[in-house]
Structure 1
């Protein structure tokens, strides 16, 4: 009989993991070197063919051993990755995670606590309570009892915000700007709410005058969803004006700050979020400008009592007599049951870097976006959409059509040379560079613009 594979936890787990980690790290390095750029060359067909060649058979009759399996598949996934740590991979709100956060995530995986009952996660649940309260207090420094729930990201946070608003009122009419995240409309559909009323965002941000008109015409419980960091342009809605309007009309306010929320850590830039603390709930996402491995979302509220409707009792997880005896009830802290201790990596990052360390990363990343905008502005062959508000830069070849602009993006992807996004603004298609790598150098940015210029039809 073969020796059974060892477990990751317990006193023997670290010894079992140590040699396997060496295999993983070597495979990651080999895969990145073989890729040689931000994304594998050849496009979907080449990646699919290579993966099929490596992975088949998925379930062999006899196992090939831990080292072979780890080395082969990790190397191949790394080779075929769109690597956000490469400065030329700048399409989406997909951050390169900090090494220390990834290491903390390994510990979370090895310990494998499930955050649905205290007896599965004694220390992790206490850590989550402390960290979420501290982060919520960053959003609501004057809230009566600030708290936050850990989510899988902005979509789940926005869904929870609409669900809680519905539970407060029975039903609710959502109003959002044209640049709001798609999850707002999806949540309304999911919870049986009326289709959200979409007001214009002519400059990429919610128009206060149009919002005032909509709030005047609508009746019943109303929830305005504003955005601090739109997906396409990184713009921040005029939060103080929106907060004034919602207060005057008796509406509630949710702010989706999944992208821009971490500006709270920067003394230089936190003023851009003025008015955030006036919202009834706020979405935050630390796997964007927080450099965490996915997932690291939060929904913050000024008073933890807001979360009461999420309470639920299951005899095998949080029986009333256990709760009365002092065992913390975790089931009402998420719509999920089994969930990872995602707060550990965030807690390690906060402790390791502190406010000043996080602020430096944020400031560096925003500075890089300004540098890229400068390069585009100086190029006679490129056109800049606007100065970046956060870290998103929209630009396009000056003489190119929309079709040619789209083809430039696909060509760079197919060649494995750069990963740029796309956004439609001002009636035209733009290339989108979402900069989230705080270590991108001026030379990296020059390379990015040169690649676009070199791919432009003459």
Structure 2
């Protein structure tokens, strides 16, 4: 064996290197802890052109050979300018601070490195994931035949839900057992109906599943940004008259911008009457499943054929931690492919629990471990109480912004987002003033907010997912935004000097 090969073995994790493992991880944990303790803003505002040369200069063919030196370098290329979701003035996207029990789970699952595709690679981890799926299905109310699988995130969950809905619709059209591959003439007729406020992953899923370019039909929302059920019914009727087949209706429980929850009972009534697969994208709103006070906001979700949940949004879990739940576990067979070298058909006949039979992934992390430890250490009520706190905060922030003459709000807060804009400027400059305010704020690193478009205009968005954030924190950010926007409005309105 070469000297390099011999030295390399010292880096493998096994019974002979556990002390090295303890030492190296302790050094890494200490670096992160010290960095977090020193963070005084959610980011530094470093632009790509500043960081790209640092990363590009790293010679990956010449190892540093020392843990501390590598951690020093990691600080320079990443940690120093990282975006910190735990900071009280990170108010941008659906990124939550994470709970410590989940971080413990992350460390454990990474070291053991179980793969959740087959039983012989995971053992009890498979049963723990299945128990968490059953627990979530019980919280939703899907019934005893429900099943599901963990995924990488809401986009994958929505994709798999649309795959199952497509196969079920295809089977109904052609009659009999599922047909592989799907017939092009059938795919051309399939349609998905969602609201104008639905997530873009629905359109992405339609493309990946080979549906027509116009397969996704969006219906308008009402003044509260919820799906209009009258328009939903009309769209379904129009599809039927045109010879199209609505394979799924996608309702949203927590839209990305407004946090709105579609009228799930009414949508379910329409889908039941028409025999259409109802999918509820609750990637954001799933935190209500453990809310001690707001679970009723999800009434009707129990009637869905499939549900997306993102624990890494409102359960305070590290990325990634998501799941797809289905009312009828048999529909997961549409994602099943057997390979003699991995999950032969005889394994299923013997009752061996191979999770790859349910997933569109093969190798898959034991992300369920994080949620398992969170529930066993904190309990679901504690997680729900954290989510309740940010929803309460958003309600109070919305009241204050609505009463502030410098701003206007697009809609009342539903969950934990507030969509607003600086309005104390020439209407012709309002879009540019708001865009400038967001960019200037991000460049300063003092705070981070998101942006979106509402009815063709540029708006700003506060996404409140940190229970440590206070109204005073948000007020300070609003003052910064108003200052940047007002400066732009004054500057843009001032005529350029002559001569």
- From 55, 58, 80, the equivalent of 1:56 is 58
- From 341, 348, 353, the equivalent of 1:328 is 353
- From 206, 231, 244, the equivalent of 1:210 is 231
Query: Conserved in 1, the CA contact under 8 Å of 2:280 and 2:308?
Result: yes
Query: Conserved in 1, the CA contact under 8 Å of 2:253 and 2:281?
Result: yes
1:421 corresponds in structure 2 to 450
1:198 corresponds in structure 2 to 218
- The Cα shift of 1:453 comes to 2.2
Query: Conserved in 1, the CA contact under 8 Å of 2:268 and 2:304?
Result: yes
Query: Conserved in 2, the CA contact under 8 Å of 1:8 and 1:14?
Result: no
Distance change (3 Å), C-alpha of 1:417 and 1:5: farther
CA distance in structure 2 between the partners assigned to 1:189 and 1:326 by the alignment: 35
Matches within 5 A, 1:266-305: 266-305=291-330
- From 335, 349, 353, the equivalent of 2:378 is 353
- From 188, 191, 212, the equivalent of 1:173 is 191
Distance change (3 Å), C-alpha of 1:102 and 1:321: same
Stretches of 4+ moved more than 6 A in 1? none
Greater CA deviation, 131-140 or 321-330? Answer: 321-330
- The Cα shift of 1:284 comes to 0.6
Distance change (3 Å), C-alpha of 1:386 and 1:25: same
2:41 corresponds in structure 1 to 37
CA distance in structure 1 between the partners assigned to 2:445 and 2:473 by the alignment: 15
Per-residue Cα deviation, 1:222-266 (whole angstroms, up to 9, x for no partner): 211111111111111111111111122222211111001220111
1:28 lines up with 2:32 in the alignment = yes
CA distance in structure 2 between the partners assigned to 1:412 and 1:146 by the alignment: 46
Per-residue Cα deviation, 1:40-89 (whole angstroms, up to 9, x for no partner): 1343322334444xx522321x5432332134215642211111101211
- The Cα shift of 1:349 comes to 1.0
CA distance in structure 2 between the partners assigned to 1:5 and 1:65 by the alignment: 15
Gaps of 5+ in 1: none
- The Cα shift of 1:7 comes to 5.3
1:126 corresponds in structure 2 to 127
2:139 corresponds in structure 1 to 138
Query: Conserved in 2, the CA contact under 8 Å of 1:140 and 1:301?
Result: no
2:88 corresponds in structure 1 to 87
Residue 345 of structure 1 aligns to a residue in which SS?
Answer: helix
2:398 corresponds in structure 1 to 373
Residue 8 of structure 2 aligns to a residue in which SS?
Answer: coil
1:182 corresponds in structure 2 to 200
Gaps of 5+ in 2: 171-186, 491-499
Query: Conserved in 2, the CA contact under 8 Å of 1:216 and 1:249?
Result: no
Query: Conserved in 1, the CA contact under 8 Å of 2:335 and 2:357?
Result: yes
- The Cα shift of 1:3 comes to 3.5
Greater CA deviation, 113-122 or 372-381? Answer: 372-381
CA distance in structure 2 between the partners assigned to 1:159 and 1:263 by the alignment: 23
Q: Which has the larger radius of gyration?
A: 2
1:160 lines up with 2:160 in the alignment = yes
Distance change (3 Å), C-alpha of 1:456 and 1:322: closer
CA distance in structure 2 between the partners assigned to 1:211 and 1:320 by the alignment: 41
Matches within 5 A, 1:244-283: 244-283=269-308
CA distance in structure 2 between the partners assigned to 1:241 and 1:379 by the alignment: 36
- From 262, 266, 270, the equivalent of 1:237 is 262
- What is the aligned residue count? 454
Per-residue Cα deviation, 1:427-449 (whole angstroms, up to 9, x for no partner): 43211011111111232222222
Distance change (3 Å), C-alpha of 1:178 and 1:325: closer
- The Cα shift of 1:105 comes to 0.7
Query: Conserved in 2, the CA contact under 8 Å of 1:310 and 1:333?
Result: yes
1:317 lines up with 2:346 in the alignment = no
Distance change (3 Å), C-alpha of 1:22 and 1:110: same
Matches within 5 A, 1:361-440: 361-400=386-425, 401-440=430-469
Distance change (3 Å), C-alpha of 1:285 and 1:98: same
Query: Conserved in 1, the CA contact under 8 Å of 2:239 and 2:245?
Result: no
Greater CA deviation, 316-325 or 272-281? Answer: 316-325
- The Cα shift of 1:98 comes to 1.5
Q: CA RMSD in A?
A: 2.0
CA distance in structure 1 between the partners assigned to 2:388 and 2:397 by the alignment: 14
- From 304, 329, 332, the equivalent of 1:307 is 332
